[in-house]
Structure 1
């Protein structure tokens, strides 16, 4: 699937319980895969997450249905190249941006399922993100940003459109979070917070001013989003 970026102002993300055939039909394979992963990274936990299906873009709105599944099924599906194309991972991502225009990204720690990858504070939504039958992606981002960086909603301005980057198996819902600090000062603040955490999810903080700062550890949806911002 060619990469595409949709800018929308409204999200219509309904929670609709659904039985995922992949999670049922390949249960033994999924459980074995997770057991291997957990042996490598004992802190992995098979909790419940929300994945998406039926994505639709209309004018300034993105609509989709989210359903509940276990992390083990998600991990097996992801690690096998998103083999069921009927579903997608739709995480919320907070693109922290300093007052000098630098984007602030985190490198995932060794104990996480995405060790070494570099992207924005983010997380696949879970049951804590449900509000009256809908998925609260803005709330999910606020929680992930605070957990991963220590910044609260009082530290940044979250407004403007949502940037939905469509790729095979994933549609990150990215929102720019502007912070009234230059990039270096923002990085230093986050690093101080990480140093005080017992088991931080980020092992390092990266600043991106432009393509020269890109690394192979940054997924294509991250670099494509940043390129689009620099071009606008």
Structure 2
């Protein structure tokens, strides 16, 4: 795995353009078999539509890339098979929720999800519902994902103006720091209460990270890279 690189930007320019993905076309039959196998393991997986990126470029304080729509089965196969097409990337927004006493709040994905057991900030692969005026609205996607996963609404936190774009291999995590006027334990209790009201919550547990000692192997490298930079300041 390549070492993480963090680009701090204030603008995201992510237009959605039509693109016929050669990988998805050439390996269609294999992709369908793979998705059927994964669906037998996790019946709640749904082959909806998602957005992934190509042509990434960082210039001064802007991150630009082209996004295109593809079925989730193709995205999942590309990910599970070790990213065989390096001409595309998985670019997604994350909300780094931080409590008033400095604890970062991460969620552990439930067993019925495609990322079962992984621990990271509220996030999700962009989909067509995240498109505004022909471009991916990452800020809106983050607001939606945080509400769906934790119950926290936009008025509950203050967002910093910039994004830390953490590049690790085929992933680009666009992470925005979100500050809440609530202590870590109280915040975890509030999120757990919200999860208890849901029939099929996306999260199975809530974790607080205050130092590197709280890192686990279940946290993706783009998450720990962001935390290392933030916890050292």
Report the secondary structure of 2:82's partner residue: coil
* Mapped partners of 1:154, 1:174: distance in 2: 19
Q: CA deviation at 1:22?
A: 0.4
Question: What per-residue deviation string (whole Å, max 9, x for no partner) do you get for residues 59-105 of structure 1?
Answer: 00000000000000000000011111000011110111000110000
* Mapped partners of 2:145, 2:10: distance in 1: 21
State the match for 2:87 in structure 1. Answer: 86
State the match for 1:189 in structure 2. Answer: 190
State the match for 1:137 in structure 2. Answer: 138
Structure 2 gaps, min length 5: none
Answer yes or no: is 1:222 the counterpart of 2:226.
no
Structure 1 gaps, min length 5: none
* Mapped partners of 1:108, 1:122: distance in 2: 11
Question: What per-residue deviation string (whole Å, max 9, x for no partner) do you get for residues 119-174 of structure 1?
Answer: 00000000001111111000000000000000110111112310100111110100
Q: CA deviation at 1:3?
A: 1.5
Report the secondary structure of 1:51's partner residue: strand
Taking structure 1 as the reference length, the TM-score comes to: 0.99
State the match for 1:176 in structure 2. Answer: 177
* Mapped partners of 1:87, 1:231: distance in 2: 32
Number of aligned residue pairs? 232
Taking structure 2 as the reference length, the TM-score comes to: 0.98
* Mapped partners of 2:163, 2:150: distance in 1: 21
